[in-house]
Chain A
Amino acid sequence: MRININTVSKRFGNFTALSDVSLEVPEGSLTALLGPSGSGKSTLLRIIAGLERPDEGAISIDGQDITAARPQDRCIGFVFQHYAPFAHMSVRENVAFGLRIRKRPRAQIRARVDELLSLVGLTTFSEQRPHQLSGGQRQRMALARALAVQPQVLLLDEPFGALDATVRAELRQWLRRLHDEQGVTTVLVTHDQEEAMDVADRIAVMRDGVIEQVGSPQEVYDRPASDFVMGFLGPVSTVYGQLVRPHEVTVSLEPVAGGIEAMVSRIVLLGFEVRVELELPDGSSARAQLTRTQTSELELDRGDIVYVRPPFSGGASPDAALARLTA
């Protein structure tokens, strides 16, 4: 189901959490709301869920206005950062909750819960209490609970934030597979750009209550709409005031067209890659990221004079970029 967010604003006292936000989440997509804490991404998700009311604007699912609808009437599944398991119920009862509320026949509930428990790999844990599960298991239980009622929209609030790195990567893959199989329109909130790039097919980058850019992972990474988006999605370096990705900076020993003279001030080994720290003639510093092979071919050493050339930014012509660089 398609979600439309139309000029939504939300304030908490003096703090503006969302300011005139509009976004369309296409049917069947997995969209990530990506941004630092306080950017309004969780508030936006909670507004879609109906857990918060927008001060202004409207929300619709599949063309139907749901701005005033209660959470229980929205046909959504919501997964909380800290899972919010029902502590006094077993895993099975947790997953069955939504179906029991809907008064489905017992046999049907049993079959559906069994199916979900095996989908999330918790069949052997069905009679345990949530506190007996690990963080990853609790998260999978929360997902099964949300999926049990076959929601039109699945909303995930920092779902992997409280897990360790290995489990997080595993669950990400699992979520992606699940999404591909079930095709439920999904919105995921995260502050982790790697996570967003990994699972989402669309990313909305948020900052200070505003959406800075929406696009595919490749679009927002390769053609960032602002310095903020560029900086948030990957490492950046400044060369004469221009923001560049360090791995896109070319380093050569001979003068090249558009190249800037620089002195190598430090070489840092980062495993497969090497970070070269440079000092430019105007005294500013910049960084380039090279592979080890490139570095050894260049025989770089501290104090060497090299020529660096930043990439030409997407829209600007090479000449204009050059003029700006050398101005």
Chain B
Amino acid sequence: MRISRRATLSLRAIALLYLFALLLAPLVVVFGRTFEHGFGIAWAWVTTPAALSAFWLTVAVAAIAVPLNTIFGVGCALVLVRGRGRGRGVLDVVLDLPFVVSPVIVGLALLLVYGQDGWFGRWFVDHGIRIIYAVPGMVLATIFVSLPFVVREVAPVLIEIGDEQEQAAATLGASGWQTFWRVTFPSIRWGVAYGVVLTTARALGEIGAVLVVSSNVPGSTLTLPLLVYQRSSEVGPGSITGAYSAATELAVISLIVLLVMTALGPRRGES
């Protein structure tokens, strides 16, 4: 198909406009509003005790959810692609649930299962373990919503590389574990890396599911997204700047994660 120069240019213009209007402009506005009263004010807002606590809680939740979902995701991808057992079709569908179920429903579901009157809630309450309206519930919610990313990045790579290299390793005497670390993992590592980036981004940014199961107490159960949400709904002098500052902080963390991963590895097409 031949496209005239004019058509090419206008298509490019539309694409750029679309990206600008939907992605860049809001970010630019947030950055602009953050620093409208100067860098010092913005810095003060992100270093309040509540903001610092929110930062560390966000990092901690991601630091638990991401490794767990990475291990689980790689394992699931291996079962889905290399497994021979029954029930793989069911697993395949279940893994997509976090993509299709609204995060608020995820939060409510956790409430129903682990809440005071929930299925397991009683047992945990009796043993003095608090899950709902506390950090464990927030971790569970984050794990749930960020679960499928590693599987969905790794499974296609596993299909593409095929299993001949793994069979060759087996005939050369390698155990399943040795084959995984020496042959399979090096082949899928970029898929894993992209899965980790997406999982991290989702874990850092999740609000809907976490909001439902958090007690939303500043300084103890607020993550950065929750802090942004709370500050933006407060009335009072400067709190909107506080919301923007926290939002910028969150955006910067996510961008750093993305940049680090991009700098570490080749582009998606290469291998």
Contacts and interface: CB of A to CB of B under 8 A. Distances in A.
CB-based closest 4 A-B pairs: A98-B172, A84-B164, A78-B171, A84-B168
B173 A51 contact: no
Interface in A62-96: 70-72, 74, 76-78, 80, 82, 84-88
A101 B174 CA distance: 6
Interface string B130-162: 000000000000000000000000000000010
Interface string A96-139: 01100110000000000000000000000000000000000000
Contacts of A102: 173
Contacts of B168: 78, 80, 84, 86, 145
B183 A101 contact: no
B8 interface: no
A88 B188 CA distance: 11
Nearest to A73: B173
Contacts of B182: 86, 97
Interface residues of A, number: 24
Interface of B is mostly: helix
B218 to A, nearest CB: 48
A113 to B, nearest CB: 13
13 contacts: A51-B167, A51-B171, A71-B170, A71-B171, A72-B175, A76-B171, A78-B168, A82-B164, A84-B168, A86-B165, A87-B161, A87-B187, A101-B178
Interface residues of B, number: 18
B271 to A, nearest CB: 8
B84 to A, nearest CB: 11
B173 A101 contact: yes
A145 B187 CA distance: 19
A275 B25 CA distance: 80
A118 to B, nearest CB: 20
A278 interface: no
Interface of A: 49-51, 70-72, 74, 76-78, 80, 82, 84-88, 97-98, 101-102, 145-146, 149
A250 to B, nearest CB: 51
A232 to B, nearest CB: 28
A49 B171 CA distance: 7
A74 B170 CA distance: 10
B145 to A, nearest CB: 33
A92 to B, nearest CB: 15
A72 B173 contact: yes
Nearest to A98: B172
B186 interface: yes
B169 interface: yes
